[in-house]
Structure 1
Amino acid sequence: MRIILLLAIMIFSSGISVKANEMTQSEMNEKRMELYKKTEIATGVPWFYLAAVDQYERSIRNVRKDLPKPNGLLGIYIQPEHWTGITNPDKKDVNPKSISFFNGLGQDGTGDGIADPNHTEDVLFTIGNYIAQYGTDDTRFRLALWNYYKRDKTVGAIMSNTQVYRKMNRINLDEKAFPIPKGYNYSYRDTWGHRRGWGGRRIHEGTDIFAGYGTPVRAVAYGVVELKGWNKYGGWRVGIRDLNNTYHYYAHLNGFAKGLKIGDVVQSGEVIGNVGSSGYGPPGTSGKFPPHLHFGMYKDDGIKEWSFDPYHYLKVWERTERKK
């Protein structure tokens, strides 16, 4: 045990001193992976578990007003009372011994005798050891996540991140794709928020991209298939959650890509189905409107989920692809 502890301290004491705002996205990903790998050696927790938690926390901190914005390499934020211990009278305590006495999570990952909640290595070492208490397989990881977050949707989002990172074996997965490939005719305009009447009064939560029957539909981002099948509004549809905890909804399809199933990891630009006019009735209903892809985006912030206008994102992805 003493040798393992010394090894962990040596690993973290070599710390990565860097200002995140002075780095490119590629450099940040490289440094993050270095941190994940070091923590894996020190705690025995697979790097993709650590990366999945970090990415989830970053995604919710970027949209929540009650959490501080991430300003360093890591997105993980541990509430002060959890870091020091709920019954600890000193909410700024950085002494590992007194933190442990009050059952706080905070640990010293660098061997300097300080458990600093603002120190990258200390935070990641703390999360790694928390997970390690439960075990290092998916079932035990799920249990660790549930006991920490107490929310099924959060557990599911982090497990989706885990699947993607484990399969792709990298974290630089920021590429985006326009849902219709180049070479096909299509048209669209901003239709988010427009009124819809079929099935009851409601608003249009997406952008309609009109194209011919059978036009390929592609995943816009890396993610995991959460939903596939029929509903009376969207017809044949697919739902994919990406690494930013954004849910992408593709509806009115004519069919699905062969072999596509719930739980699959998909890559940016991968064909997931084709354009149709299904929906507005029982399974198989089609032709009640011109063929088009309904594309919707929904953001989850760890408390609630809401729809937002995808039009401007589509424009950016379209322009980016045209420049290639």
Structure 2
Amino acid sequence: MELSVNLLRQMEELKKETGYSIGEQIAVFLPVFRFQMSGHEEEMNAQTLEMWDLFYTKRKKETFSHLKQSCRAIWDDLKCFPVQNGEKKMIFENSWMFARTYGGERGHEGTDLIPPENVRDYYRVVSMTDGVVEKIGWLEKGGWRIGIRSEHGGYFYYAHLSSYAKEFAVGEKVKAGDLLGYMGDTGYGAEENTMGKFDVHLHLGIYIQTERMEELSVNPYWILRFLADRNEI
């Protein structure tokens, strides 16, 4: 699925006009335009949205309900760009599923945010959403990480932290914009506090649960572009 900043801006305006959230709009337009929304901007209007929402709700209720739930889990809890200082100079690319080799051949399940300076324990990592702490602590690949489950069910994974903002507990509630920790270079080692295997950066992963998969990785790139544009970064 290819998006664009202009397309996301259009959906923000359509949200004001119709009350349909970004996630709800994407759930309708994805099947209508066969997962290629770019190029259909003129057709993505209130009339099309409401007509096809009614059609899918009546004719494909269960399937459409699952799709809508997934899209809302990804899009409808987003509030903050995940870095609070230096964000205007932060670099990130569409590197989802690029090849990685540590621990065996695999795809890169996320987007890396690269700071302007290779300095650990300086760049502030904040929660993109309200939610609940679901995972905390050391992972061999991810280093010091924290995972937040948002209200609509998205799992937001922040990895390679140098330190945490405080001693978080599983089940603890967080608000969007709350400081989670600081960007670092931890990970790629079984021993806790392994660092220096790569440059300082934040690995952001986003996952949803589906009927068939406990964790389905979602490309965070356009989500980050959306938040950067919304916050004028």
TM-score by shorter chain over 0.5: yes
Which residue of structure 2 aligns with residue 213 of structure 1? 120
Matches within 5 A, 1:221-300: 221-281=129-189, 282-300=191-209
2:83 is equivalent to residue 180 of structure 1: yes
2:219 is equivalent to residue 309 of structure 1: yes
**Identity, % of aligned pairs?**
37
Structure 1 letter corresponding to 2:81? F
Structure 2 letter corresponding to 1:289? F
Q: How many residues align?
A: 168
Partner SS state of residue 208, structure 1: strand
Matches within 5 A, 1:95-134: none
* TM score, norm. by length of structure 2: 0.65
Runs of 4+ displaced beyond 3 Å: 182-185
Which residue of structure 1 aligns with residue 28 of structure 2? none
CA contact (8 A) 2:77 2:150 kept: no
> Per-residue displacement from partner, 1:206-237 (whole Å, max 9, x unpaired)?
00001242211011111111000001100000
Higher share of residues assigned helix: 1
Show structure 1 runs of 5+ residues with no match: 1-21, 27-60, 77-172
* TM score, norm. by length of structure 1: 0.47
Matches within 5 A, 1:78-93: none
> Per-residue displacement from partner, 1:143-187 (whole Å, max 9, x unpaired)?
xxxxxxxxxxxxxxxxxxxxxxxxxxxxxx845111011544421
Which residue of structure 2 aligns with residue 24 of structure 1? 19
Distance of 1:291 and 1:66 partners within structure 2? 46
| Larger of the two Rg values belongs to structure | 1
Relative contact order higher in (CA < 8 Å, ≥ 6 apart): 2
Out of 184, 194, 199, which is 2:98 matched to?
A: 194
Distance of 1:23 and 1:187 partners within structure 2? 34
Distance of 1:175 and 1:205 partners within structure 2? 19
Distance of 1:24 and 1:308 partners within structure 2? 25
Distance of 1:302 and 1:222 partners within structure 2? 24
Structure 2 letter corresponding to 1:213? R
